[in-house]
Amino acid sequence: MGSTGGSWGAPVAVDDMLVLEIEDLEVDVLTGIYSEETHLPQPLRISVRVLLDCAAHYGPDSPLNMSKNYMDLKHAATAALTQGQHFTLIEAVAEHIIETIFLQDSKARHATVKIVKLALSERNEKIGITLSRWRK
């Protein structure tokens, strides 16, 4: 536990957190609301950031269960997306990824998923959403 000064100088407890990230996975997902979007998968660029409870100390021989396997994050953003499932909104894709992460590991306290719809880009713009959720 650390502490920082509050707005009037009173100490505020701050928990240590471990951040795991994967960025720029390209995944084809059935998503969209327009007829031209609903029958073919669209390429999405997905990034995931997860805050985990932090161990008191990580030593050279710390086992993997003190953290989280990065491949679990990749799985949540790729293979865990049901093949053939149509998501009307990319927000629902992000929600599904976050729910999968929370089900995978009770140490996950917060997750952020950023999704860019690559098919909308004409000049390398990044058009999409970011959804963040705290575990309830």
Q: Is the pLDDT of residue 7 over 60?
A: no
Give residue 1's pLDDT.
44
Render pLDDT for 65-97 as a digit per residue (tens, 0 to 9): 888 888 999 999 999 887 778 899 999 999 999
Give residue 65's pLDDT.
84
Model's pTM, two decimal places? Answer: 0.83
Q: Is the pLDDT of residue 56 over 50?
A: yes
Q: Residue 42: beta bridge partners?
A: 29
CA distance 107 to 50: 10
Give residue 134's pLDDT.
97
CA distance 7 to 77: 39
Helix axes 70-77, 90-104, angle to 10 degrees: 150
All domains in the chain, ordered by first residue = 17-56+64-134 (3.30.1130.10)
Give residue 15's pLDDT.
79
* Higher per-residue confidence, 124 vs 94: 94
Give residue 36's pLDDT.
67
Phi-psi region of 32 (alpha: psi -120 to 50; beta: other; left: phi over 0): left
Residue 31 makes CB contacts below 8 A (sequence gap 6+) with 37, 41, 42, 44, 86, 87, 88, 89, 90, 92, 93
